[in-house]
Chain A
Amino acid sequence: MADRTIIRFEHVTKQYDDDPAVLNDVSFEIERGKFYTLLGPSGCGKTTILRLIAGFIEPSKGKIYFNGKVINNLPANKRQVNTVFQDYALFPHLNVFENVAFGLKIKKMKKSDIEEKVKEALRFVNLAGYEAREIREMSGGQRQRVAIARAIVNEPEVILLDEPLSALDLKLRTEMQYELRELQRRLGITFIFVTHDQEEALAMSDEIFVLNEGKIQQSGTPTDIYDEPINRFVADFIGESNIVPGKMIRDFLIEFNGKQFECVDGGFHPDESVEAVIRPEDLQITTPEQGKLQVRVDSQLFRGVHYEICCFDEDGNEWLVHSTKKAVVGDNIGLTFDPEAIHVMRFGETEEEFDKRLEAYEEAGHAK
């Protein structure tokens, strides 16, 4: 359905002078009422996308659509989006009420209406009664909420959040993650959230765009991206992973570490070189005889929820294991895993090709 789409990027490139492009031929669609996350390391172009949507910068090439209309040259103050900035960007000379009322006052709204709306917005972010406070009297988390209230009070169709949680401590950050997600559900408007924190992205999003070097590497739901990363970058960036080179003997049979294992991926050429990903939590420790892999425990860290055990096999490949059971450093142990735990990645496969292959072999699987 076309009208579910609110923002569309069509082959958008952003380039400053003769420097390499910050954003390189990016196309995607954003649907109404969902929580999106742009995830990637710093310098990957995620903030550039946000600034393009907000209207602080214009694309060098390509088109940006908002509600079906091209908005390439529409200035920021005429756009139906509001931003929550990384440093909050609250106006220091105004108090909480005046900060939140800023946008409404510019729109020349009636005074009584402004008062009502600001109060409601502050109630929404649990800051009722803080109207007369000065910004400098507010804590980091409270400033964060003022910034959110200032954005939602304008009733925008899209709210952009630029790493808004990065300045908060861990506990507050986790709390705010819940609050933001809850807020988005209650308001029902589109959130586009920028972060470099993969846990944050996995916890909050309906849909994640993983970016690197100015390109979208992969997009999908958090489980899609976690379970089926498309390439080494995504596998490595999202969560921890063991990545080993391997060879597809035929569909559903992979060879690595000199052994053959059953797996659930298909659609490959026979004897194609690939990479296999196994998440550390999918590896179980067992005796060397029962194990599919034999490794030597090199080091061990207690992480609270689990032990992070670092092992090496005979070929020198590193294997990271998350286990609730302790291992003994220096011991030889066996590692075992299910066929489903192996995820096979083709070299240089694009998202489109990946999806196509997935569909093809799933159909083939059903046909059997």
Chain B
Amino acid sequence: MRAKRKLANVYLIVIFVILYAPIFYLMYYSFNSGGSMHDFKGFTLEWYKEVFHDTRLFIIVLNTLVIALLSAAISTILGVIGALAIQMLRKRQVKNSLLTLNNVLIVSPDVIIGASFLILFTIMGIKLGFISVLLSHIAFSVPIVVIMVLPKLQEMSPTLVDAARDLGANRWQVLSKVVLPFITPGIFAGFFMALTYSLDDFAVTFFVTGNGFSTLSVEIYSRARQGISLSINALSTLIFLFTIMLVVGYYFVNKKTGKSNGMGVRGR
């Protein structure tokens, strides 16, 4: 029994090492003064300095963040409205087909979504750039928010709404004082998911960015193609750390809001 457990642990460790090794390899060489990714000549922060002095890169980072925050915020609003609408549907068939349509958008390949957006924007005559990227990010984030918020809505006992109405709340008050507070954890989860999806999206963005506008993933890709510069390693390290911070932050938010859930005696 114990040997089996040990084996399982070893397996887990090996898998994680394999998964994380390339990232750590990349991070390790971001401190290499040698300028290449094979011989480690000596420790330097030169590449980080380069990253911080690169104003073009700085603007791109800002772009990426603005796109991520804006698209996450807007798609959260749209997604919550969508989830509420789906939840309110009486007919099960309509509900299920809408959900399926929603899920198809999540699982369909980014390349197809990106290409179709490119076609759409070109037909509509929308100039490729900030707006096109923002719109497409909102579009692929909304289904994610819906899928994060909907379970919370389903968890909510319908008598809560009845109770609020019974106590004199009008429709808006029911929504703002009962429904929204109840699904807040789901809304936060949806927002953070949308944020991370937007931050690391490459395929869709690659199709819909025009000249003069770029996000981090696209920029790193084009730089990596031009030849090896360890500043990319430095940049990747910074992004990795930022992501870790997001994940930790999300964990704490979830832990805090998660406490007030799982309550309510369900009679039969």
Known contacts A103-B168, A166-B267, A166-B268: does B163 contact A85 (CB below 8 Å)?
A: yes
Answer whether residue A148 sits at the interface, using C-beta atoms and an 8 A cutoff: no
Q: Which of B169, B177, B263 contacts A92 (CB 8 A)?
A: B263
Answer whether residue A5 sits at the interface, using C-beta atoms and an 8 A cutoff: no
Q: Which of B162, B168, B260 contacts A89 (CB 8 A)?
A: B162
Answer whether residue B266 sits at the interface, using C-beta atoms and an 8 A cutoff: yes
Query: 25 pairs across A/B with beta carbons < 8 Å?
Result: A56-B162, A56-B166, A77-B167, A77-B169, A78-B168, A82-B167, A83-B162, A85-B162, A85-B163, A86-B268, A87-B264, A89-B162, A90-B264, A91-B178, A91-B182, A92-B263, A93-B181, A93-B184, A102-B177, A106-B168, A106-B169, A134-B260, A135-B263, A135-B264, A136-B263
Shortest B155–chain A CB gap in Å is 10
In the complex the two chains form, what is the Cα distance from A175 to B266 in whole Å? Answer: 21
Query: Is A85 a contact partner of B268 (Cβ separation < 8 A)?
Result: no
Q: Which of A75, A85, A88, A106 contacts B173 (CB 8 A)?
A: A106
Binding site for B on A (CB under 8 A): 54-56, 75-78, 81-83, 85-93, 102-103, 106-107, 134-136, 140, 143, 150, 154, 163, 166-167
- Residue of B with least CB distance to A87: B267
Query: Is B265 a contact partner of A76 (Cβ separation < 8 A)?
Result: no
- Residue of A with least CB distance to B174: A77
Q: Which 10 A-B pairs have the closest CB atoms?
A: A103-B167, A89-B163, A89-B159, A76-B165, A136-B263, A167-B267, A93-B181, A86-B267, A106-B168, A87-B267
In the complex the two chains form, what is the Cα distance from A282 to B112 in whole Å? Answer: 81
In the complex the two chains form, what is the Cα distance from A85 to B266 in whole Å? Answer: 11
- Residue of B with least CB distance to A78: B168
List, in ascending order, chain A residues with CB within 8 A of B177's CB. 102
Answer whether residue B164 sits at the interface, using C-beta atoms and an 8 A cutoff: yes
In the complex the two chains form, what is the Cα distance from A204 to B168 in whole Å? Answer: 28
List, in ascending order, chain A residues with CB within 8 A of B178's CB. 91
How many B residues touch A, CB cutoff 8 Å? 26
In the complex the two chains form, what is the Cα distance from A106 to B163 in whole Å? Answer: 13
- Residue of A with least CB distance to B259: A136
- Residue of A with least CB distance to B166: A83
Shortest B209–chain A CB gap in Å is 42
List, in ascending order, chain A residues with CB within 8 A of B268's CB. 86, 166-167
Shortest A311–chain B CB gap in Å is 36
In the complex the two chains form, what is the Cα distance from A86 to B264 in whole Å? Answer: 11
Shortest A139–chain B CB gap in Å is 10
In the complex the two chains form, what is the Cα distance from A36 to B209 in whole Å? Answer: 70
- Residue of B with least CB distance to A75: B165
In the complex the two chains form, what is the Cα distance from A75 to B163 in whole Å? Answer: 13
Answer whether residue B261 sits at the interface, using C-beta atoms and an 8 A cutoff: yes
Within 8 A of A (CB), among B159-205: 159-160, 162-170, 173, 177-178, 181-182, 184
Query: Is A83 a contact partner of B168 (Cβ separation < 8 A)?
Result: no
Q: Which of A93, A107, A163 contacts B267 (CB 8 A)?
A: A163
- Residue of A with least CB distance to B178: A91
List, in ascending order, chain A residues with CB within 8 A of B267's CB. 86-87, 163, 166-167
Query: Is B160 a contact partner of A91 (Cβ separation < 8 A)?
Result: yes
Shortest A65–chain B CB gap in Å is 20
Answer whether residue B93 sits at the interface, using C-beta atoms and an 8 A cutoff: no
List, in ascending order, chain B residues with CB within 8 A of A83's CB. 162-163, 166
Query: Is A76 a contact partner of B260 (Cβ separation < 8 A)?
Result: no
- Residue of A with least CB distance to B162: A56
Shortest A66–chain B CB gap in Å is 14
Query: Is B159 a contact partner of A86 (Cβ separation < 8 A)?
Result: yes
- Residue of A with least CB distance to B161: A89
Query: Is A77 a contact partner of B159 (Cβ separation < 8 A)?
Result: no
Residue among B160, B184, B263, B265 facing the most chain A CB atoms (10 A cut-off): B265
